[in-house]
């Protein structure tokens, strides 16, 4: 490898210091040569970028035998099987790509991350993402108790892998519970709680995520609340930044609509003070994007952010609706037990945290949300959570057709003025 990359958090901070939004793809290929090409093209993009190794589905669920069989058969997987390819293979694909100007993060989706973390650290990487709740509830039926235990061990493995000059980094996926239709207060609270969990298990560098939702003003309020709450709750000395995800729900089908949505996320990141952006491509609604489509998305987002310019210095943030709701949820959980692992489990057992439309057995399932006429996400039911539902909400149970309309709300809005022919 060439010169060792700086700590992941430091690289993002350096970009922010000179007014550059760091942009990052979701990219993973099973073939090491294709993966190396993807990383090299990401590094060469006209943007300030970090690389991504997205992990395949077999490895995510711990089916390493299935991953090995697929690799032996030469099958194309939907990501890089980092725990199956020999360490030398992964080190070779990173050689001269992982560098002082190009850190690489491993993204996966596993509720039991130990094998993935062992593999990435032995390959010379030290940045990944996930969380005990956010990589459990949306992805399967792993008991939450098992995920919390596994992530405790995973955090300690990652924290213990620090090399000289390195600072292992862990990003919470908490801002993306199910991708959509979750009001921002819960997303913000979960990001803060998971990063507190990481810090209590030895991590000194973290990032807090937020996934773009249905209303730009509400999203800006949420990112600002997330930044403020991170400063208020994370221990002193913990390096942290906010990462925004371009909309994670049903994506526009037209190229024009998809591009407009990506550009809006880049402007939101700049306006609200997020320092890193996970992009999506114009192919998102149709298939796995190519390397070229990922590079185009990175450059489109970087250009939109540059055109947005630096926002004016904001006045001190008021106690917004999202801030108040998120703070209430955070304090309710932290008041349950000094051990955050136990507090998170108790919070879900009692329904003090309750993800709408989430079918996981450990989620109470009594909360519901809706999109109000202005486009903002609101609570129609909050179950046992210590927050209020919107009193103006229609109390009629959401029908399947109503849910489909809500799920397609963003895609249809951005496609409405787009060209008539979809891509693909």
User: What is the CATH classification number for the domain harbouring 291?
Assistant: 3.20.20.240
Share of the chain above pLDDT 90, in %: 78
Give the span between the Cα atoms of 223 and 269, in whole angstroms.
8
Confidence of residue 213 (pLDDT cuts 50, 70, 90): very high
Give the span between the Cα atoms of 78 and 64, in whole angstroms.
14
In a domain, 80, yes or no: yes
Q: Is the pLDDT of residue 272 over 60?
A: yes
In a domain, 336, yes or no: no
The secondary structure of 20-77, three-state, reads: CCEEECCCCCCCHHHHHHHHHHHHHCCCCECEEEECCHHHHCCCHHHHHHHHHHCCCC
Query: Where is pLDDT greater, at 250 or 38?
Result: 38
In a domain, 176, yes or no: yes
Q: Based on the structure, what is the number of domains in the chain? A: 1
Give the pLDDT score at 403. Answer: 83
In a domain, 419, yes or no: no
In a domain, 232, yes or no: yes
pLDDT in tens, 191-209: 999 999 999 999 999 999 9
At a CB cut-off of 8 Å and minimum separation 6, what does 422 contact?
Answer: 253, 254, 255, 285, 286
Confidence of residue 285 (pLDDT cuts 50, 70, 90): confident
Mean pLDDT confidence for 33-39? 96
In a domain, 31, yes or no: yes
Give the pLDDT score at 402. Answer: 82
Helices assigned H by DSSP within 309-371:
321-334, 340-349
Give the pLDDT score at 424. Answer: 47
Range with the lowest mean pLDDT among 109-113, 225-229, 352-356, 411-415?
A: 411-415
Give the span between the Cα atoms of 2 and 248, in whole angstroms.
34
Number of residues in the chain: 424
Query: Where is pLDDT greater, at 401 or 34?
Result: 34
Query: Where is pLDDT greater, at 308 or 121?
Result: 121
Q: What is the mean pLDDT of the chain?
A: 92
pTM: 0.94
Give the span between the Cα atoms of 105 and 167, in whole angstroms.
13
At a CB cut-off of 8 Å and minimum separation 6, what does 292 contact?
Answer: 41
Give the span between the Cα atoms of 209 and 99, in whole angstroms.
25
Confidence of residue 3 (pLDDT cuts 50, 70, 90): low
Q: 374-407 burial, b for 16+ CB within 10 Å, e for fewer?
A: eebbbbbbbbebebebbeeeeeeebeeeeeeebb
Confidence of residue 404 (pLDDT cuts 50, 70, 90): confident
Give the pLDDT score at 287. Answer: 84
Give the domain extent around 83: 8-308
In a domain, 152, yes or no: yes
Mean pLDDT confidence for 90-103? 93
In a domain, 82, yes or no: yes
pLDDT in tens, 108-150: 989 999 999 999 999 999 999 999 999 999 888 999 999 999 9
Task: Please provide the distance, in angstroms rounded to a whole number, between the alpha carbons at the two ends of the chain.
Answer: 38
Matching residue, tokens 């993009």: 45
Give the span between the Cα atoms of 49 and 321, in whole angstroms.
33
Share of the chain above pLDDT 70, in %: 94
């Amino acid at each position: 490898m060439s010169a060792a990359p700086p700590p992941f958090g430091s690289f993002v901070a350096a970009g922010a210091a000179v007014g550059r939004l760091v942009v990052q793809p979701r990219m993973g290929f099973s073939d090491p040569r294709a993966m190396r090409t993807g990383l090299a093209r990401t590094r060469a993009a006209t943007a300030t970028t970090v690389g991504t190794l997205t992990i395949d589905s077999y490895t995510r669920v711990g089916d390493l035998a299935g991953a090995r069989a697929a690799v032996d058969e030469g099958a194309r997987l939907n990501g890089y099987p980092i725990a199956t390819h020999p360490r030398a293979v992964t080190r070779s694909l990173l050689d001269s790509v992982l560098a002082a100007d190009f850190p690489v993060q491993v993204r996966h989706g596993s509720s039991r991350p130990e094998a993935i973390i062992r593999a990435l650290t032995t390959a010379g990487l030290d940045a990944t993402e996930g969380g005990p709740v956010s990589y459990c509830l949306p992805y399967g039926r792993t008991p939450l108790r098992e995920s919390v235990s596994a992530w405790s061990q995973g955090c300690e493995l990652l924290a213990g892998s620090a090399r000289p000059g390195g600072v292992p980094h862990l990003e919470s996926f908490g801002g993306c519970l199910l991708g959509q239709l979750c009001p921002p207060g819960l997303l913000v609270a979960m990001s803060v709680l998971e990063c507190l969990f990481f810090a209590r298990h030895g991590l000194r560098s973290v990032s807090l995520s937020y996934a773009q939702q249905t209303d730009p003003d509400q999203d800006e309020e949420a990112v600002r609340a997330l930044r403020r709450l991170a400063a208020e709750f994370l221990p002193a000395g913990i390096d942290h930044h906010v990462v925004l995800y371009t909309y994670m729900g049903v994506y526009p089908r037209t190229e024009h609509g998809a591009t407009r949505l990506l550009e809006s996320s880049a402007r939101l990141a700049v306006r609200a003070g997020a320092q890193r952006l996970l992009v999506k491509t114009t192919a998102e609604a149709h298939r796995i994007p190519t390397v070229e489509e990922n590079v185009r998305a990175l450059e489109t987002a970087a250009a939109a952010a540059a055109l947005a310019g630096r926002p004016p210095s904001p006045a001190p943030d008021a106690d917004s609706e999202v801030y108040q709701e998120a703070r209430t949820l955070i304090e309710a959980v932290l008041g349950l037990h000094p051990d955050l692992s136990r507090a998170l489990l108790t919070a879900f057992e009692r329904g003090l945290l309750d993800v709408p439309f989430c079918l996981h057995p450990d989620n109470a399932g009594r909360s519901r949300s809706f999109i109000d006429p202005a486009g903002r996400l609101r609570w129609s039911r909050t179950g046992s959570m210590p927050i209020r539902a919107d009193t103006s909400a229609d109390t009629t149970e959401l029908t399947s057709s109503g849910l489909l309309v809500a799920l397609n709300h963003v895609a249809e809005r951005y496609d409405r003025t787009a060209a008539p022919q979809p891509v693909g």
